[in-house]
Amino acid sequence: MTSRSFLGSLLLLGACGGGFLYTTLTATPSAGPPDVFECVRTKLSQLEYQQTSIDLNDKRIVARKVDDKTTRSDTQFRRVINRLEIQANAGAGGQTQLKVVAHTFGDYFTNRGPTEIEEAASDDVKQAAQAVIETCGQ
């Protein structure tokens, strides 16, 4: 009986933790979506992010940067992966909408193999997202 109440308490605690682990930034640049998208691709290269996927039709790009310098005492921990998901499209009224979502994942090697667990967005990925918005969101 004690184990059931303990498990129930853990589930309730997890449900109450709520909130978002990622950070979202938006802007309405004056340039059109193709120009903003090209600006984003250039800025990601300058920030040393690797492009992992791209959708030229919908002007979406996902890029990541691996942080091998961060260490933890967990023997299964491998590294931190910062990921930016960016979309530039025509919004309401014809204005371009730029949306940048910044994620951080802990990369662990478990019995199931490599496993990414989302964590609160790191300062590094937040700064990179802000740099993209400041450069391409004008």
Q: What is the maximal distance between C-alpha atoms in the chain? A: 63
> Encoding tokens for residue 118?
């989302």
Q: What is the CATH number of the domain that holds 100?
A: 3.30.310.80
**58 belongs to a structural domain:** yes
- Into how many domains does the chain fold? 1
Residues 63, 44: contact at Cβ < 8 Å?
Answer: yes
pLDDT band at 108; cut points 50, 70, 90: very high
**113 belongs to a structural domain:** yes
**131 belongs to a structural domain:** yes
Q: What is the pLDDT of residues 7-62, one digit of tens each?
A: 344 444 444 445 789 999 999 999 999 999 999 999 999 999 999 999 999 999 99
Domain of residue 109: give its range: 21-136
Q: What's the half-sphere exposure (Cβ side, CA atoms, 13 Å) at 91?
A: 13
CA-wise closest residue to 40 among 109, 134, 114 = 134
Report pLDDT for 18: 54
